Chains A and B, each alone.
Chain A
Amino acid sequence: MVEFSWAPRSPLEHALVTGAHGTRGIEAGVSLTEIRNFDLIQVMARRGKGAELAKAAKARFGVTAPDAPKAVQGKDATLIWSGPDQFFVLSAGGKHTLQTLVPALSGPASLSDQSHARVLISISGVKARAMLAKLSSIDLHVGAFLIGAAAATSMDHTSVTLWRGNDRPDGLAVFNLLVFATFAESLWHTLLDSAAEYGVAISHSEELA
């Protein structure tokens, strides 16, 4: 009998090379970090069940699920608006899985596991906004896209979910990006091309910030 290994492989495993990219000899203007170990469950309210889902979500996560383009930090989970009547539950790997959420939410909602369907990239740095302006048509100005703002939008003709997390300890803004897994390598190269002139620091992490 053959012994099988079931090691998960990130869609960015091949493309992501930890370290510096682009212009050297300056402090990297953009930091790109792939977060690898997360669960992502799409929750879609059933017809007429919005209020019931809101109650169930509140009980589960301790916060009101967003019903507008926002990301809300709940208990062990970030709830990110992804469209009318729907939101994502993003949590550290194993925290809120499809199996654990179905009993709690499947009455008023339909759930789909998207943990493998997306890649999560965190973008920060003094040039993060300049670089994102090449990819995103969203106004990310400090006064226009506040902490907790979210957008279901497109980059390079590819659907993405973008939201602003808490600032880094040095006060710089952090932009989180969920991209489709099969597009991830392609979009990653686009991110690198866009950021190269500013100098890039590339890393990956198992920890969901």
Chain B
Amino acid sequence: MAGAQTHRLGNGGLIDRSAPLNFRFDGKAFSGLQGDTLASALIANGVKLVGRSFKYHRPRGILTSGSEEPNALVELRTGARREPNTKATTAELYEGLEAASQNRWPSLRHDVMSVNQLFAPIFVAGFYYKTFMWPAKFWEAIYEPAIRRAAGLGRAAGVADPDHYDKAWAHCDVLIAGSGPAGLAAALAAGRSGARVILCEEDFVPSGRLLSDGGTIDGVPAAEWLPRTLAELAAMPDVRIMTRTTLFGVYDGGTYGAIERVNDHLPSPPEHQVRQRLWRIVAKRCVVAAGAIERPIVFAGNDTPGVMMASAMRTYVARYAATPAKRLALFTNNEDGWRTVETALGAGLQIAAVIDARADVSPAHRSLASKGGFPVLHGAVSGVDGGKDGVRKIAVSLTGGARAEVEADGLAVSGGWNPAVGLTSFHRGRPKWRDDIAAFVPDGAPPGMVAAGAANGDFGLGACLSQGFAAGAAAARDAGHNGTPGAAPVADDEAFSLTPLWHVAGKGKAFVDYQHDVTASDIELAQREGFESVEHLKRYTTLGMATDQGKTSNVAGLAIMAAVSGRSIPETGTTIYRPPYVPVAIGAFAGHHRDETFHATRLTPSHHWAVEQGAIFVDTGLWKRAQWYPRAGEKDWLESVTREVKAVRGGVGFCDVSTLGKIDVHGPDAGAFLDRVYINTFSNLAVGKARYGLMLREDGIVYDDGTTARLAEDHYFLTTTTAKAGLVMQHLEFCRQVLFPELDVQLTSVSDQWAQFSIAGPKTRDLLKEIVDPAEDLSNEGFPFMGAREVTLRGGLKARLFRISFSGEMAFEISVPARYGDALVRNLMLAGAPFGVTPYGTEALGVMRVEKGHIAGPELSGTTTAADLGLGKMMSTKKDYIGRVMAGREALIAPDRQVVVGIKPADKARRLRSGAHIIPKGQTPGPGNDQGYVTSVCFSPTSDRWIGLALVERGRERIGEIVHAHDPLRGEDYDVELCNPVFYDPDGGRQRG
């Protein structure tokens, strides 16, 4: 059994004493209760030291009870699930939880890095900039790794996250952030009005500070009002309360981001469940009832373990029945801090003293003090005596100059409250200053959003309820719901008086930003060095730049800067607020999109057949394409690919080309339309014929190519490259809808309708005769080169045949409705067996196109013109088309442009590689004489050597010239000969035969 919970009260609290939970912190066994956070369980066990600070490795304790916590950051869980920088204050306790403190070595109590404190003078603001400037190369090699080891946060797991995350959409009329009194009242009003409501609460229990502070609502205690209210909301089918869910971002058009920690409260998610879910919530209206964050006062030793926010202290006592101190002092500058004294006295704790910075204390609190037998000291805390075991003694500077000492083992601090202005300020909103509460409050909000209650600077319970209710009712009405919200819940407002106090002068480090170890003197130094602007202050000192984003520190930092620079706080201003409001795991943003499901994949109709054949696949955009089909005994890809090429050139092979984009172009003006998008003419194409087409961008550069067949007077079947299929469809729709709306033309993507195979090789007809109905004439006369028509296959299936060739061989492309693609490929194998039919992949396809000098993706590079590609003659002079005018610009028709040319190595045995630069022979490579580069290479089985295509200045005029290939990436230099890019069958007899 783990140690006794020495700091747990005998009764009270929202923890389940019948459900003990075992956990370990830094390897030591403890016990907590169901309903605890890790922080409250540690407190219940008397643990005060929970971490070491970022820069100085100072001992730190728990400061808050919420997501603003800057100190109590731990590594939660172990192994692959280890998560650094997890706030102990929000981590729910579960059986078997394991957590470790961060930023210490070898142990939390004996941290050798705490010697950093001795060197503290050099760790001042801007020290990275000042100290590690020279020599520059030392930065990456020495300084940065050393700094990261010494100063830093927790360690990431370092292995893949075994858990799953997903993303979801939600829609509502009224979105509410926060379930305190304002949020619950808003939900009641909006729900009763008939609106669809989503209420996000980051805690695992709704109700916000009502859980800690109680109060009287509608004449009954909050503890009685809450279950009644939650039951009423639960009974409304369109009101959804999402606990463990933080609204972290506000985006345009009423879109909000929220993170739901679905299973963070369990050791691991149950099977088939996710750890976290990222919500995109679309809301017509949003009520921000996110409350306020109590702020510390900056004084020497204010980071000693045992110094805690006053509100957090009473949360631990009231909600968790855990006592952070047995004898505590309160340092406050406002009325609200006294509630901690009331709570502590109610729980039987001792009060050592109250140090109140205000001139007056209310008579009620005076009599409380005399009844409780503790002094009220007017003044401020100027120092804390204590260490890793916590607070021992508190030094007080009394008003008037005298000093006093208070013995206590805990110090509650209240410097007032800062409304949570993050959400309302995310659209570059600048909050405005309110003197009466000495805090920034929202000044407007993104469209559709309004703040209510404490988030709006109105802290009283009555105000929270009435404002929240009014905001909820208005939001529902604005969203079109006119139901009756009924009566608002009613409560009195507590008294609130505050005397601003930000910084108490004293000896020793006084921390503003606990997480980044920024002290008051760092801010003073920044001001002296000219970094007065808040944005400069932030970056120079790193104030507010830690994972807590300065929730407890920003305003105090501004106030100190204001004081030292002689400006008011509103004049000093705030930095820009940006989402996310709390850290969100990258895994949640990725959701389903990781590993194999990083993106959707597309499969060809022959995919599963190709898998059966043992094909090797390549990712081509979203597609999985068969790259080659290895056979037993083949030692590498080159052997397989060479065999496939030879089989096609010597017999017959086929390749799935279904990945090409396919578009039906319909309508009386289809021909005229194509004339405008292609450089060549299609309106004069005969029905039953196909033609190769090239399209340009409007700037004159080649966009895409492909063959288009005319299947009827008013029906063309257009193909695009695989890579550009979607973009060409978008481009053609732009041409149709925007540029040429007067044309009667309709476009439909039919890419997925057709399974299309290229069948190539001298025995193509022999194979096709086995597949196609004998009545079909496939002879050169009956089906000439570039013919295209529907045919009937044996068995009656209709197919389309296109006599087009990418390989340079006698070839057809055949297409059948996609669900027959699998049958077609199996039938091709059956029918082709006597001819040695060979399936080939994209590698062999690529080899044959290079041998044939056909351009493809590497040449359609977004820099080449039609003329560069040797296709300038296709550019019609008789019509207008996209890109025509710009293609005629001086630079695009300059004689020294880099144009496509063939290359072969001077040394026949040499391997070519694409990317090598072309340099004139005998010259030293450099930018001044770089004449182009190698775009595509392959081993040509037909030529029995490596060949390639290159873009070379005036290349076509230099056929036969020996130039130099310079490949600095691979450290290769060799000579190549420029040659005709058509290596194979230059007169085209084979494909026409």
**In-complex Cβ contact of A9 among B599, B601, B753, B822 (8 A):** B822
Q: How far is the CA of A176 from the CA of B796 in the complex (A)?
A: 32
Q: How far is the CA of A54 from the CA of B604 in the complex (A)?
A: 36
Is A55 located at the chain interface by the 8 A CB criterion? no
CB distance from B260 to the nearest CB of A (A): 12
B contact residues around A186 at 8 Å (CB): 597, 600-603
> In the complex the two chains form, is B282's CB within 8 Å of A139's CB?
yes
CB distance from B702 to the nearest CB of A (A): 26
The chain A residue with its CB closest to the CB of B663 is: A112
> In the complex the two chains form, is A196's CB within 8 Å of B820's CB?
no
CB distance from A1 to the nearest CB of B (A): 8
> In the complex the two chains form, is A47's CB within 8 Å of B602's CB?
no
Q: A63-85: which have CB < 8 Å to B?
A: 85
> In the complex the two chains form, is A137's CB within 8 Å of B280's CB?
yes
- Which of the 9-residue segments B39-47, B271-279, B309-317 touches chain A? B271-279
**In-complex Cβ contact of A10 among B274, B282, B601, B819 (8 A):** B819
Is B378 located at the chain interface by the 8 A CB criterion? no
> In the complex the two chains form, is A133's CB within 8 Å of B601's CB?
no
A113-B744 in contact given A11-B818, A190-B592 (Cβ < 8 Å) = no
11 CB < 8 A contacts A-B: A4-B794, A4-B827, A6-B823, A8-B819, A10-B819, A14-B608, A22-B272, A85-B746, A113-B750, A117-B751, A137-B169
CB distance from A199 to the nearest CB of B (A): 8
B contact residues around A156 at 8 Å (CB): 592, 600
Is B580 located at the chain interface by the 8 A CB criterion? no
Is B752 located at the chain interface by the 8 A CB criterion? yes
Q: How far is the CA of A70 from the CA of B931 in the complex (A)?
A: 59
A157-B600 in contact given A10-B819, A117-B751, A197-B272 (Cβ < 8 Å) = yes
> In the complex the two chains form, is B604's CB within 8 Å of A144's CB?
no
Q: How far is the CA of A194 from the CA of B748 in the complex (A)?
A: 31
Q: A108-130: which have CB < 8 Å to B?
A: 110-118
Is B891 located at the chain interface by the 8 A CB criterion? no
Question: How does the 8 Å CB contact mask read for A125-163 relative to B, with 1 for contact and 0 for none?
Answer: 000000001101111010010000000000011100000
Q: A166-191: which have CB < 8 Å to B?
A: 180-183, 185-187, 189-190
Q: How far is the CA of A176 from the CA of B604 in the complex (A)?
A: 24
Q: How far is the CA of A16 from the CA of B714 in the complex (A)?
A: 39
Is A193 located at the chain interface by the 8 A CB criterion? yes
Is A44 located at the chain interface by the 8 A CB criterion? yes
Is A51 located at the chain interface by the 8 A CB criterion? no
A contact residues around B622 at 8 Å (CB): 183
> In the complex the two chains form, is A196's CB within 8 Å of B818's CB?
no
A182-B748 in contact given A23-B272, A112-B664 (Cβ < 8 Å) = no
- List of 10 A-B pairs having minimum Cβ-Cβ separation, nearest first: A110-B666, A47-B744, A8-B819, A117-B753, A117-B752, A139-B171, A116-B818, A116-B817, A110-B746, A182-B602
The chain B residue with its CB closest to the CB of A138 is: B169
The chain A residue with its CB closest to the CB of B744 is: A47
A contact residues around B752 at 8 Å (CB): 114, 116-118, 180-183
Q: How far is the CA of A110 from the CA of B668 in the complex (A)?
A: 10
The chain A residue with its CB closest to the CB of B623 is: A182
Q: How far is the CA of A110 from the CA of B751 in the complex (A)?
A: 17
Q: How far is the CA of A113 from the CA of B664 in the complex (A)?
A: 10
- Known: A14-B608, A182-B658, A183-B622; 15 extra A-B contacts, CB below 8 A, are A2-B770, A5-B823, A6-B796, A9-B820, A47-B667, A116-B752, A116-B818, A134-B168, A139-B282, A181-B752, A181-B819, A186-B601, A186-B602, A193-B592, A194-B166
Q: How far is the CA of A141 from the CA of B597 in the complex (A)?
A: 28
B contact residues around A157 at 8 Å (CB): 599-600
Q: How far is the CA of A22 from the CA of B272 in the complex (A)?
A: 6
Q: A1-43: which have CB < 8 Å to B?
A: 1-2, 4-11, 13-14, 22-23, 42
Q: How far is the CA of A194 from the CA of B166 in the complex (A)?
A: 8
Question: How does the 8 Å CB contact mask read for B738-776 relative to A, with 1 for contact and 0 for none?
Answer: 000001111011111110000000000000001100000
What is the interface of chain A mostly: helix, strand, loop, or mixed?
Answer: loop
Is A204 located at the chain interface by the 8 A CB criterion? no
Q: How far is the CA of A158 from the CA of B622 in the complex (A)?
A: 11
A contact residues around B599 at 8 Å (CB): 157
> In the complex the two chains form, is A197's CB within 8 Å of B273's CB?
yes
Is A46 located at the chain interface by the 8 A CB criterion? yes
A115-B817 in contact given A4-B771, A5-B823 (Cβ < 8 Å) = yes
A contact residues around B667 at 8 Å (CB): 46-47, 110
CB distance from A40 to the nearest CB of B (A): 9
Question: How does the 8 Å CB contact mask read for B254-280 relative to A, with 1 for contact and 0 for none?
Answer: 000000000000000001111000001
A112-B668 in contact given A2-B831, A8-B819 (Cβ < 8 Å) = no
The chain B residue with its CB closest to the CB of A130 is: B168
Q: How far is the CA of A159 from the CA of B170 in the complex (A)?
A: 20
The chain A residue with its CB closest to the CB of B668 is: A46
A contact residues around B676 at 8 Å (CB): none
Q: How far is the CA of A7 from the CA of B824 in the complex (A)?
A: 9
Is B363 located at the chain interface by the 8 A CB criterion? no
Interface centre among A11, A42, A85, A180 (most CB of B within 10 A): A11
> In the complex the two chains form, is B820's CB within 8 Å of A6's CB?
yes
> In the complex the two chains form, is B601's CB within 8 Å of A114's CB?
no
> In the complex the two chains form, is A8's CB within 8 Å of B604's CB?
no
B contact residues around A8 at 8 Å (CB): 817, 819-820, 823
**In-complex Cβ contact of A134 among B166, B743, B818 (8 A):** B166
Q: How far is the CA of A42 from the CA of B747 in the complex (A)?
A: 11
A contact residues around B727 at 8 Å (CB): none
A contact residues around B751 at 8 Å (CB): 117, 180, 182
> In the complex the two chains form, is A112's CB within 8 Å of B750's CB?
yes
A contact residues around B794 at 8 Å (CB): 4
A contact residues around B819 at 8 Å (CB): 8-11, 116, 181
> In the complex the two chains form, is A4's CB within 8 Å of B830's CB?
yes
CB distance from A66 to the nearest CB of B (A): 18
> In the complex the two chains form, is A113's CB within 8 Å of B817's CB?
yes
Q: How far is the CA of A26 from the CA of B623 in the complex (A)?
A: 37
**In-complex Cβ contact of A183 among B272, B600, B797 (8 A):** B600
Q: How far is the CA of A118 from the CA of B196 in the complex (A)?
A: 35
> In the complex the two chains form, is A185's CB within 8 Å of B597's CB?
no
> In the complex the two chains form, is A158's CB within 8 Å of B600's CB?
yes
Q: How far is the CA of A63 from the CA of B1 in the complex (A)?
A: 75
B contact residues around A139 at 8 Å (CB): 171, 282
B contact residues around A2 at 8 Å (CB): 770, 827, 830-831
Q: How far is the CA of A158 from the CA of B597 in the complex (A)?
A: 13
Is B989 located at the chain interface by the 8 A CB criterion? no
> In the complex the two chains form, is A46's CB within 8 Å of B827's CB?
no
> In the complex the two chains form, is A196's CB within 8 Å of B748's CB?
no
A110-B664 in contact given A14-B608, A116-B754, A133-B169 (Cβ < 8 Å) = yes
> In the complex the two chains form, is A9's CB within 8 Å of B600's CB?
no
Interface centre among A133, A137, A194 (most CB of B within 10 A): A133
> In the complex the two chains form, is A113's CB within 8 Å of B602's CB?
no
A4-B600 in contact given A23-B272, A194-B166 (Cβ < 8 Å) = no
CB distance from B774 to the nearest CB of A (A): 10
B contact residues around A44 at 8 Å (CB): 666, 746, 748
**In-complex Cβ contact of A112 among B592, B600, B748 (8 A):** B748
Q: How far is the CA of A197 from the CA of B623 in the complex (A)?
A: 29
Is B167 located at the chain interface by the 8 A CB criterion? yes
B contact residues around A5 at 8 Å (CB): 795, 823, 827
> In the complex the two chains form, is B823's CB within 8 Å of A7's CB?
yes
> In the complex the two chains form, is B823's CB within 8 Å of A183's CB?
no
Question: How does the 8 Å CB contact mask read for B33-75 relative to A, with 1 for contact and 0 for none?
Answer: 0000000000000000000000000000000000000000000
A contact residues around B282 at 8 Å (CB): 137, 139
Question: How does the 8 Å CB contact mask read for B385-428 relative to A, with 1 for contact and 0 for none?
Answer: 00000000000000000000000000000000000000000000
A133-B170 in contact given A7-B823, A183-B602 (Cβ < 8 Å) = yes
Question: How does the 8 Å CB contact mask read for B821-839 relative to A, with 1 for contact and 0 for none?
Answer: 1110001001100000000
CB distance from A144 to the nearest CB of B (A): 7
> In the complex the two chains form, is B272's CB within 8 Å of A185's CB?
no
A contact residues around B753 at 8 Å (CB): 112-117, 181
Q: How far is the CA of A44 from the CA of B752 in the complex (A)?
A: 18
